[in-house]
Amino acid sequence: MRLTSMNRILLAAALLITVPASVPALAQTAFKDTSMLRAPAGSRVAIFEFEDLECPACARAFPIVHAAVDKYKIPLVRHDFPLKMHVWSFDAAVIARYIQDKISPQAAEEYRRAVFANQTSIASKDDLNTFTQKYFQSHGRVMPFVIDPNGLFAAEVRADYTLGERVGLTQTPSIFIVTQKGYTQVNDVTQLYAMLDTAIAENPAPAATSKPKTTAHK
């Protein structure tokens, strides 16, 4: 049977419906409240990130994001967003907050980097506890018996998670390039540098104004 032009069109449409798509789903782009996605005061461009310490994609993004922050000398506004399906992510974020508060922000960054690097060997809360004890020991410190006795750091992590819910997040990492005007979502972290170049070019530093010369009168 010969196919008419109309039959060919109908057949092609049917094939598109019945054959499963081979391309990955597009990253989330519809959000609820994005009012907080702005660069900090005094900054033209910054990176705004929600991360989960148990998320493999976050582990891959971590060195790229931090290298970009160092290269462009821009702020990183990071929030913890431990997905509920992950069994030890929340506890790891609490430990990182403890280290940031009690030791130093740099030590907290090093801990997060170490967790990401050893992510595949941490399968439970017990594994995380063992890893953290060894991490403290390797840095000449003793891990406290109770990390967060008053629940302060847990409350900070929950506040971050609530902020992510306000935005409407469901996945990690959720990375944004933010300016004083708005934001652009980074769906592909390998494009981060190119997107930062564009954002910086579109948000130049204000031109310096020269003071008018004054003439001395005798």
How many CB atoms are located within 10 Å of the residue 67 CB? 12
Question: Considering the domain boundaries, does residue 142 fall inside one?
Answer: yes
Tens digit of each residue's pLDDT (9 = 90 or more) over 73-87:
999 999 999 999 999
What local confidence, expressed as pLDDT, does residue 26 receive?
39
Q: Is residue 58 part of a domain?
A: yes
What's the domain count of the chain? 1
Question: Is 83 inside a domain boundary?
Answer: yes
Q: Which amino acid is residue 147, in one-letter code?
A: I
Run of H or E residues at 78: strand 76-80
pLDDT in the model for residue 206: 80
Evaluate whether residue 178 is within a structural domain: yes
Structural domain boundaries enclosing 143: 36-202
Integer Cα distance of 126 and 128 in angstroms: 5
The CATH number of whichever domain residue 52 belongs to comes to 3.40.30.10
Residue 6's pLDDT is what? 43
Instruction: Give me the pLDDT at residue 207, please.
Output: 72
Predicted local distance difference test score (pLDDT) of residue 18: 34
Amino acid 9: pLDDT: 41
Give the chain's residues under pLDDT 50.
1-28, 218
